[in-house]
């Protein structure tokens, strides 16, 4: 029989340590081997108990979670799941933790101190078991800070996109998306829609952080937004995002339909919408993430004549989502993370060139003299 996953719970609240341990211990494949009240005690417990996964609070006295995470990722190289507060400060610290090599995060419910942790129980146990299976990230990602880049254009024409790019991404997504979007030029002609598996309350700040790092515009999507060239719209947490094609352009619609593949937002919902409304002008991209969300929808984009891309498995933190689409034959091209931006740019420029050729093609004459 396979041994249970050994987990250390680090949180400054005695109540939270007890509650998190209780929900984890309900799964027979997980064993909570110990708890710690701050980062300093947590590091001592790692030496003593040899856990396979650590759950880590970020706001703690003495040694906080960020400082402890730096040591864990560099010295012990075991995966860390952040259990983060639902606040602006909590969201900011969470993104910093992800940039420092945390495997993933779950959000503490607002009323967690009242014992209401059931809503994250399934998510937390699943991420712990996936982290134990895959181990620490293959390499510590670059910090989530703005790289040197050209400034945003002083004026960006309000024009429709040459291609509609739909992106689905989950675990490992914040750093991967930053790398892709920050390498797109300010005059990028595509319009981008993003489903990042992320809870409500985190996506607005996530979009703002991306916008600060990019020459294109990035913001959280709202219903009725017009899809424009050089703009990326991030689906809000706990909503689905779809596209509606009209004579006035392509518009975003947000819905509260039930979760699909266990997710809201779901990449499959976005991809199916784009396949139906945009067809051959669509580009579907599946990036790092666990599970199969987006695989079927990517196949629908391909069937509609669109171009489909998967991030190469060896450059993913978790290759479940792109790997599922590749195995089903729904992917036209498999591309490493560092080449995704140039691939998207090439596809958009190629479409622009074809459109210009069609506009400039000679019109047949009816035999008259020049």
Q: How far apart are CA 94 and CA 316, in angstroms?
A: 20
The reply to whether 343 falls in a domain is yes
Average pLDDT, the chain: 89
Give the global pTM.
0.88
The reply to whether 298 falls in a domain is yes
**Residue labelled with tokens 């994250």:** 120
- Residue-level pLDDT at 365: 43
Share of the chain above pLDDT 70, in %: 89
- Catalytically annotated residues: 170, 197, 293
Confidence category of residue 109, pLDDT binned at 50, 70, 90: confident
Q: By residue range, what is the domain housing residue 228?
A: 164-357
The reply to whether 107 falls in a domain is yes
Whichever domain contains 46, its CATH number is 3.40.50.2300
Query: CB neighbours of 36 closer than 8 A, spacing ≥ 6?
Result: 8, 9, 10, 42, 44, 45
Written as one string, the DSSP assignment of 80-111 is EEEEE-SSHHHHHHHHHHHHTT--EEEEPPTT
- Residue-level pLDDT at 119: 78
Q: How far apart are CA 317 and CA 170, in angstroms?
A: 10
In terms of C-beta density within 10 A (0-12 exposed, 13-18 middle, 19 or more buried), how is residue 212 classed?
exposed
Q: What is the largest CA-CA distance in the chain?
A: 93
Residues 168 and 308 in one domain: yes
Residues 124 and 181 in one domain: no
Written as one string, the DSSP assignment of 314-356 is GG-SS-HHHHHHHHTT--SEEE-GGGHHHHHHHHHHHHHHHHH
Residues 340 and 196 in one domain: yes
The reply to whether 341 falls in a domain is yes
Q: How far apart are CA 170 and CA 290, in angstroms?
A: 7
Query: CB neighbours of 264 closer than 8 A, spacing ≥ 6?
Result: 238, 239, 240, 256, 257, 258
Q: How far apart are CA 173 and CA 288, in angstroms?
A: 6
Peptide bond between residue 265 and the one before it cis (omega within 30 degrees of 0): yes
What's the whole-number mean pLDDT along residues 293-312? 98
The reply to whether 369 falls in a domain is no
Last residue of a domain, one of 116, 134, 152: 134
* pLDDT surpasses 60 at 207: yes
Which H helix or E strand runs over 35? strand 30-36
State the pairing for strand pair 217-220/231-234: parallel
The reply to whether 365 falls in a domain is no
Q: How far apart are CA 370 and CA 365, in angstroms?
A: 10
């Amino acid at each position: 029989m396979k041994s249970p996953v050994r987990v250390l719970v680090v949180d400054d609240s005695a109540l939270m340590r007890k509650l998190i341990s209780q929900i984890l211990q309900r799964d027979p494949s997980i064993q909570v081997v110990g708890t710690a009240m701050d980062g300093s005690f947590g590091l001592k417990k790692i030496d003593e108990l040899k856990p396979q996964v650590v759950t880590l609070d970020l706001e703690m006295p003495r040694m906080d979670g960020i400082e402890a995470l730096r040591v864990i990722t560099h010295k012990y190289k075991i995966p860390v799941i952040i259990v983060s507060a639902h606040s602006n400060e909590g969201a900011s610290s969470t993104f910093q933790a992800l940039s420092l090599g945390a495997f993933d995060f779950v959000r503490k419910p607002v009323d967690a101190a009242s014992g209401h942790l059931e809503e994250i129980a399934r998510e937390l146990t699943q991420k712990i078991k996936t982290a134990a299976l895959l181990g620490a990230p293959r390499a510590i990602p670059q910090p989530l800070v703005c790289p040197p880049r050209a400034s945003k254009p002083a004026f960006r024409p309000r024009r429709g996109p040459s291609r509609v790019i739909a992106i689905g991404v989950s675990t490992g997504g914040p750093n991967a998306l930053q790398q892709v979007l920050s390498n797109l030029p300010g005059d990028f002609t595509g319009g981008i829609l993003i489903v990042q598996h992320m809870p409500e309350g985190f996506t607005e700040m996530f979009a703002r952080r991306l916008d600060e790092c990019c020459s294109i515009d990035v913001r959280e999507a709202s219903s009725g937004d017009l899809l424009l060239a050089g703009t990326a719209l991030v689906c809000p947490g706990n909503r689905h995002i779809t596209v509606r094609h009209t004579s006035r352009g392509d518009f975003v619609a947000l819905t509260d339909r039930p979760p699909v593949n266990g997710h809201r937002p779901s990449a499959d919902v976005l991809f199916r919408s784009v396949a139906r409304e945009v067809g051959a002008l669509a580009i579907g991209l599946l990036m790092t993430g666990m599970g199969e969300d987006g695989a079927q929808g990517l196949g629908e984009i391909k069937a509609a004549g669109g171009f489909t891309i998967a991030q190469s498995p060896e450059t993913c933190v978790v290759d479940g989502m792109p790997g599922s689409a590749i195995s089903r034959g729904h992917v036209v091209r498999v591309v490493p993370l560092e080449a995704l931006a140039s691939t998207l740019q090439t596809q958009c420029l190629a479409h622009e060139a074809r459109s210009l050729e069609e506009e400039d093609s000679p019109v047949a004459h009816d035999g008259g003299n020049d």
